[in-house]
Amino acid sequence: MDTEIDTETLVRTRRSLHAVAELVLAGPQYRADGTIRLRACAGGFATSVGADLRVVGAELVAHGQVLSLEWTTCAALGAALGLSAGAPDGLYGDGAGRAADDSIEVDPAAARRLLHAFALGDAALRGLFPGAEPVIWPEHFDIGVTVDEVNYGVSPGDAYLPEPYAYVGPHGPREGAFWNAPFGAARPLAELAGVMGVMAFLDEGRRLAAAS
């Protein structure tokens, strides 16, 4: 994995990938098939129903085309695929905060690091919760499941923490040293040893949330 990537590049790339997820994948999918749910795929993320659109590293793969995300706009990507780029209307208040005509810049090395978080999260969540179907939500651009009123997942980063991290978010407040974030608990993926480390953290959160 790439390690020497500055925070500015990570954040710029994450925001751009978030915009593509929301405006090019989730929005058109919602208008065609009524769902905003995305999923992890090899090397990135993809639509869950209908047209098979995939972001793999710094490329969008769809309809036999491979489109670069290194310097473009969501509007241009949509036009190339015959889609009207735009967020799903009226479902949530947050999101990527980008317009379809805004420029996006995806650094390939940063994309590999960020999208690896989805692969780790998908594997850890499926291992800890057999039968679960982890979802990448375009609003916050993270992958997660909800079990017994507790959210479990992995984020490639956000305003709270600019690097990829795992999280446990009970629907009600918890007390104790484990709960170190406003929404529950968070640990940078760099501090966790791969899939098994993520599973161990999430499982500890599950145990402590149930005990509280």
Q: What is the pLDDT of residue 157?
A: 97
Residue with tokens 């500890």: 204
Domain membership flag for residue 17: yes
For residue 41, tell me if it sits in a domain.
yes
Q: Which two tokens stand for residue 15?
A: 């925001």
For residue 142, what pLDDT is reported?
Answer: 98
Task: For residue 65, tell me if it sits in a domain.
Answer: yes
| Ordered per-residue pLDDT tens for the chain, 212 residues | 445 899 999 999 999 999 999 999 999 999 999 999 999 999 999 999 998 999 999 999 998 899 999 999 999 999 999 999 999 988 998 899 999 999 999 999 999 999 999 999 999 999 999 999 999 999 999 999 999 999 999 999 999 999 999 999 999 999 999 999 999 999 999 999 999 999 999 999 999 999 97
Is residue 28, in this structure, part of any structural domain at all? yes
**C-alpha span between 126 and 139 (Å, rounded):** 22
CB 2 within 8 A of CB 13: no
Domain housing 32: 7-109
Report the distance separating Cα 98 and Cα 19, nearest Å: 6
The number of distinct structural domains making up the chain is 1
> Quick check: is 39 in a domain?
yes
What confidence score (pLDDT) does residue 2 get? Answer: 47
Residue found under tokens 């993320």: 45
How many other C-beta atoms can be found within 10 angstroms of the C-beta atom of residue 168?
26
Any domain includes 73: yes
Q: Which amino acid is at 14?
A: R
DSSP β-bridge partners for residue 152: 145, 168
| Residue 63: predicted pLDDT | 84
CB 154 within 8 A of CB 132: no
> DSSP string covering 165-207, please?
EEEEEESS---STT--BTTBEEEEGGGS-HHHHHHHHHHHHHH
Query: What are the C-alpha distances in Å from 75 to residues 80, 176, 183, 191?
Result: 9, 46, 34, 37
pTM of the predicted protein model = 0.95
Would you state the pLDDT for residue 94? Answer: 85
DSSP state of 120: H
Only one residue has tokens 């590293």, namely 57
- On whether residue 80 sits in a domain, the answer given is yes
Tell whether 69 is covered by a domain. Answer: yes
